[in-house]
Amino acid sequence: MKEKSNNLLLDLYPSTKFLITLFIIITVFIVKGYLYGYLMVPLCLLLALYAKVFKELLGLLIKTLLVLITFIFLIQSFFYPGDTILWSWSFLSLRQEGIDFSLLLTSRIGAIGSALLLFFRITSVKDIVYSLEQLGLPSKVTYVVLSTLTIIPEMKKLSMTIMDAQKTRGVETEGNLRVRAKAFLPTLTPLILTSVASTEERAITLEARAFTAPVKKTSLYRIEKTKKDTVVRILLLLLLIVIIVWRVAL
């Protein structure tokens, strides 16, 4: 049985957490305008602060989402078709229609990206896989999901180990971009070979544990839905109905 963390958000069932994410994604397309979408970003940060993952989420938003949103905003502002030109220089023209569309598009991207990043910060891969198995998905499918979600962190960890090994051999791994690229190239071969070897080891381990046996699987790790999940789901449904009625009325 999974230990409780005494944190309402962290202790929710994985599917309930995903429903919160889905609620944000759906409503950002229902509510007209860009203000609601932008408000979802600080809301996700507040939820992350409550779940004690604020620094991790903020770092991800700055490193990935902020760069993407800035790039899309500039491209759409200058190249989106329109008649109201606010500023122009050479082949570049800043149009009011482009700014309006950029605000709407980036607000939705920001809300969706923040919600998805928050979900994966407050939900462990183990919980996601367990909830998928409880939904009736085959073990092979859940294993593919698990492998997909963990392959990048594992590859990063493995590459750092190889880089440290190279450093102990006297290879210069720190410095400008040219030095780092030169140090990274020799790590590709051992990285690929080690990944292939680990894949074979996993296959042998799974067979040793009767992974493909046509019997019902049991697990020592269990998570259960509680009354809090029911309350949260009802609140999300009521809020969604209110937003839809409000949107139709307007």
Q: Across residues 241-246, what is the average pLDDT?
A: 93
pLDDT in tens, 153-191: 777 777 777 777 777 766 666 666 676 666 666 777 777
What the block records as the tokens of 19 is: 């429903």
Q: Across residues 228-242, what is the average pLDDT?
A: 94
Average pLDDT taken over every residue of the chain: 82
Specify whether the CB–CB gap between 127 and 16 falls below 8 A.
no
- Give dist(CA 219, CA 157) in Å, integer: 27
In the chain, the percentage of residues whose pLDDT exceeds 90 is 37
- Give dist(CA 140, CA 214) in Å, integer: 12
| pTM beyond 0.75, yes or no | yes
pLDDT in tens, 197-214: 777 677 677 666 666 666
- Give dist(CA 225, CA 16) in Å, integer: 9
pLDDT in tens, 39-64: 999 999 999 999 999 999 999 899 88
